[in-house]
Amino acid sequence: MMKHLPAYYTIWHILGYYGLRLTAYLVLGFLMLPILIIVPLSFNVEPYFSFTQGMLRLDPDAYSLRWYEAIFTDQRWTLSIRNSFFVGALAAILATVLGTIAAVGLSSPVMPAKRLITALLLSPMIVPLIIIAAGMFFFYTGFGLVGSFTGLVMAHAVLGVPFVIITVTATLTGFDRSLFHAGVSMGASPLKVFWDVVIPLIRPGVISGGLFAFVTSFDEVVVVLFLAGPEQRTIPRQMFSGLREQINPTILAVATLLIVISVALLVTLEILRRRSERLRGEAF
């Protein structure tokens, strides 16, 4: 281990070297442990939020899948899971379409007031959620959109659009505009070039933006609290009331499932990123 260090290292260099590593691991633990602690607790056979003696002894009888069963048998949970996926998917699709169009427009050199429009479109990411939610509540009331899926999907799409704009804009900065000119010079209309050339090349950015938008909707609770009726109850909303009404590890089981889903999405994003890097590496 020591032999990898440069020969000129003094004791202080060595202390610093290991000290830095130790600090890094401590920070990582600080970030990850509160999340990871949930996973074993969700397998608790007892309806408590703490480790039992049996769990600490690794006694198989102290563990069970009963809370996972509870998720899929309790009608409130099944409804909220269905709602979360439904609202998340629709909001993500809407946000992806609108965000991609916005990003393409904003990347055009002739677009006026670029900074102002970008700032406005990204504002849902910066403005406190509670303010957006309250604003939407009053605004949507006038259109009868409160307590409807349409309203909730629209609201979540607004929250997702900034992520799509950011990821698509990032892929577009690497986009060579002469590809567009080349397509047009060969006789294809700008719209056709957009479909045949621009979209395939920015697809990784579009998809990762869409996934971000989906996740945003998937774990959003504030807007749901304001806009959703009992019919539109989503997973985070159900967890929120679960915390107050029926404290049991079902919530932890749901949380574990959410962690698994998030990790799966992150892995997908990483695969997409590498794919796009490879494509671009070949292009130039």
Partner 1 sequence: MPSEAEHAFLQFDQVKKSYDQKTLVVKGFDLDVDRGEFITLLGPSGSGKSTVLMMLAGFEGVTSGDIRVENKSITRTAPYKRNIGMVFQNYALFPHMTIAENLAYPLQVRKMAKPDVKDRVNEYLRLIEMPEFGGRYPGQLSGGQRQRVALARALIFEPSLILMDEPLGALDKKLREQMQYEITRLHEQLGFTVIYVTHDQTEALSMSSRIAVFNDGVVQQCAAPAELYERPKNAFVADFIGENNFIPGTVSAIDGAEAKVAIPGGEIIAVAGDGLVVGQKCVVSVRPEKLFIQPTSHAYDNEVTAAHVTHHYVGDFIRYYFRFADGTEINLKVLNDLAAPNFSAGQEGKLAWLKKDCIAFPA
- Contacts to partner 1 by CB under 8 A: 176, 178-179, 181-190, 192, 196-197, 200-201, 279-283
The nearest distance, CB 199 to partner 1, in angstroms, is 10
75 or 178: CB nearest partner 1: 178
The 10 Å Cβ neighbour count of residue 133 is 19
Residue owning tokens 């945003």: 216
The nearest distance, CB 203 to partner 1, in angstroms, is 9
The nearest distance, CB 174 to partner 1, in angstroms, is 11
CA geometry: angle at 121 spanning 117 and 126, to 5°? Answer: 120
182 or 243: CB nearest partner 1: 182
7 or 191: CB nearest partner 1: 191
175 or 212: CB nearest partner 1: 175
53 or 173: CB nearest partner 1: 173
The nearest distance, CB 177 to partner 1, in angstroms, is 9
87 or 168: CB nearest partner 1: 168
176, amino acid identity: D
The nearest distance, CB 111 to partner 1, in angstroms, is 16
- Check: CB of residue 171 under 8 Å from CB of residue 104: no
Can you give the three-state secondary structure of 8-66, one letter per residue? CCCHHHHHHHHHHHHHHHHHHHHHHHHHHCHHHHCCECCCCCCCCHHHHCCCHHHECCH
The nearest distance, CB 105 to partner 1, in angstroms, is 18
Q: How far apart are CA 86 and CA 234, in angstroms?
A: 9
6, amino acid identity: P
Reference 99, options 44, 47, 171, 37; nearest CA is: 171
Q: How far from the centroid of its chain's Cα atoms is residue 77's Cα?
A: 21
The nearest distance, CB 213 to partner 1, in angstroms, is 24
125 or 188: CB nearest partner 1: 188
Q: How far apart are CA 44 and CA 61, in angstroms?
A: 9
Q: Put residue 144 in one of left, alpha, beta given phi > 0 → left and psi -120 to 50 → alpha.
A: left
Q: How far apart are CA 192 and CA 209, in angstroms?
A: 23
Q: How far apart are CA 146 and CA 112, in angstroms?
A: 35
119, amino acid identity: A
Residue 282, both tokens: 């070949």
The nearest distance, CB 233 to partner 1, in angstroms, is 43
147 or 174: CB nearest partner 1: 174
